[in-house]
Amino acid sequence: MASSTTMMTAKSVLSTVGSAAAAVMVARSVVNDFLPYEVRDYLFFSIHSIFSRRFSSEITMIIEEFDGLECNQIFEAVELFIGARTKTMSTSSASATRLKVRKPESGDKILVNVDRDEEIVDEFEGVKFRWMLHCHTIESNNFYHPRDMNSTLRSEVKSFHLTFHKKFKAIAMEKYIPHIVKQMEFLKLETKTIKLFTVDPNNLYGNPANAWTPVTLNHPATFDTVVMDTELKQMIIDDLERFLKRKEYYRHVGKVWKRGYLLYGPPGTGKSSLIAAMANYLNFDVYDLALSGMRVDSELRNALVGTANKSIVVVEDIDCSIELNNRENEEGSSGFRGRFPGRQQHQDKVTLSGLLNFIDGLWSSCGDERIIIFTTNHKEKLDPALLRPGRMDMHIHMSYCTPCGFKLLANNYLGVKHHELFTDIERLVGETNVTPAEVAEQLMKHDKPDPALRGLVEFLQLKKVDEAKAEAKRLEDESKPKENDNKNDDVNDVNEANGKESIEKQNVNNEI
């Protein structure tokens, strides 16, 4: 009896399944015959999505490369983390069969990362997390990402897909992803290659990411090799360290997290070397902002938007790179360069107000943790508005070579800390205006200390004589105008006397 009941139940189930299958086949046939393919695709996709979401035990998080106009820091952290994990993972823990391998020009480390559509498995607190890099292309003219300075695939959008069991969502959100983000700064220091960016004048309109062209900065300067007063050097290092640690302080007082420096002094005193030393010390990229190549303030703003955080923006020779009119003269200025017919521009040059807005106005808040450095040979030529704190916070005088600077150069170039000629050289250095670049050039002429130092003594003696001659000539030139003024006064007296005499004769003739 029981067996017959079971058989009847089985027959009923099979009959029901067969009827359902037949109904599905009929429905599919109707759909294929009467519905357009666009509707069919949408319908099948919706049904598949419903069933996959309802019955799947896994969840997938998508981490895209950009969030609007800003970089997605989680994507950057994951990219670094996956690269580091790929190097250390055993083959049993990763299913990836294609890896990308590269070596930066200025580093010795070989960097490895996963290729697109390749899956790797990472284990965290006993939970397996599967990562895969997905890429898809879009139209280049619609792609806009102002922070991705190093990418050459500007028409490609990238995202990481993280897949794991649903029950571990709390671990993923509260522990795993924060763990990855926390390691980002350390991994960036390990893998970063410092870049020097220069403005591309042909791309200052449109995508700000294209406004800068990068090259690797291999400048070897460090604070140990920079020739300047020891106390001043330590003051700069302390100031940079304090700046890096004060993110929350700047936010608390309502200021943009940036710091401005003015390097002033004669040519050859090491301003460029100090900038390179600061970049190497901070591990910051350098943006060489050539104002002379910009025609309007809008180009300056576009270049600013294209700079990244943790960078040094350098404006060299600010006193002569462009003509900076004061703001009173700018109000009535107008012009048109012909770049956009039908439009009107308010000025045809980069203005002082535009530059001030760049370093201290609203546009200065387009990034964090930035150093802005201006250099000049003539501080006295700069507009006072540029010099105040908040724009140029720290003024650093790059002076002529000092005895202390000479000793550092002798140690760096010749490997000597003491020599019998040091006394004469230190005296001559103190009596002449010689730059560190000139001293270094003399020391490089010989590999051995004795001939190099003797050559430097001869050079300094000749320079001292030349400076004495130049000073004598200057005094002579200053005295000449006084002699000419005396002669002019005598001539004027004679002319005045002759004039009086002529008037008296005229009066006598009139009386007659």
Which residue has tokens 């401005």? 260
Query: Would you give the distance in Å from CA 319 to the centre of its chain?
Result: 22
pTM of the model: 0.64
Number of other residues whose CB lies within 10 A of the CB of residue 428: 19
Q: Which residue has tokens 């990244």?
A: 308
Domain boundary among 397, 418, 448: 397
pLDDT digit string, tens, across residues 154-201: 457 788 999 999 899 999 999 999 999 888 877 777 667 888 998 887
Look at the block and give the residue holding tokens 């923006």: 313
The total of structural domains in the chain comes to: 3
Q: Give the per-residue pLDDT at 40.
A: 61
Residue 3 domain-assigned (yes or no): no
Residue 1 forms part of a structural domain:
no
Q: What residue type is assigned to position 142 of the chain?
A: N
Pick from 165, 191, 217: which residue ends a domain? 191
In a domain, 18, yes or no: no
Q: Is 270 found in the same domain as 382?
A: yes
pLDDT in tens, 124-165: 989 999 998 888 776 554 444 444 444 444 457 788 999 999
CA distance 277 to 365: 25
The domain that contains 279 carries what CATH number? Answer: 3.40.50.300
Distance CA(240)–CA(284), nearest Å, equals: 12
Distance in angstroms (rounded) separating the CA atoms of residues 145 and 452: 53
143 in any annotated domain: yes
Same domain as 347, residue 302: yes
- Please state the three-class secondary structure of 195-230 as a single string: EEEEECHHHCCCCHHHHEEEEECCCCCCCCCCCCCH
Question: Which of the residue ranges 69-78, 199-208, 401-410 would you say has the lowest mean pLDDT?
Answer: 199-208
- Residue 8: inside a domain: no
- The answer on pLDDT for 109 being more than 70 is no
More confident residue, 347 or 314: 314
For residue 150 the two structure tokens come to: 């190093």
Q: Do residue 311 and residue 227 come from a single domain?
A: yes
Range of the domain at 165: 31-191
Residues 475 and 389 in one domain: no
Cβ atoms of residues 395 and 264 within 8 Å: yes
Q: Give CA–CA dist 331/353, Å, rounded.
A: 10
- Mean pLDDT, range 13-24, rounded to an integer: 68
Query: Tens digits of per-residue pLDDT, 401-420?
Result: 999 999 999 999 999 999 99
Shared domain for 406 and 369, answered yes or no, is no
* Higher-scoring residue by pLDDT: 11, 459: 459
Q: Are residues 256 and 202 in the same domain?
A: yes
- Is 424 inside a domain boundary? yes
Res. 505 pLDDT band, cuts 50 70 90 = very low
Residues 143 and 246 in one domain: no
Residues 378 and 409 in one domain: no
Same domain, 179 and 202: no
- The answer to whether residue 12 sits within a structural domain is no
Residue 16 counted as domain residue: no
Evaluate whether 80 touches 111 at the Cβ level (below 8 Å).
no
Judge if 227 and 376 occupy the same domain. Answer: yes
For residue 111, what are the contacts with CB-CB under 8 A and spacing of at least 6?
83, 101, 102, 103, 104, 191
Q: Residue 321: is its pLDDT beyond 70?
A: no
Residue written as token pair 């500007």:
154
Same domain, 151 and 243: no
DSSP state of 254: T
**220 shares a domain with 160:** no
From 380, 397, 414, the end of a domain falls on 397
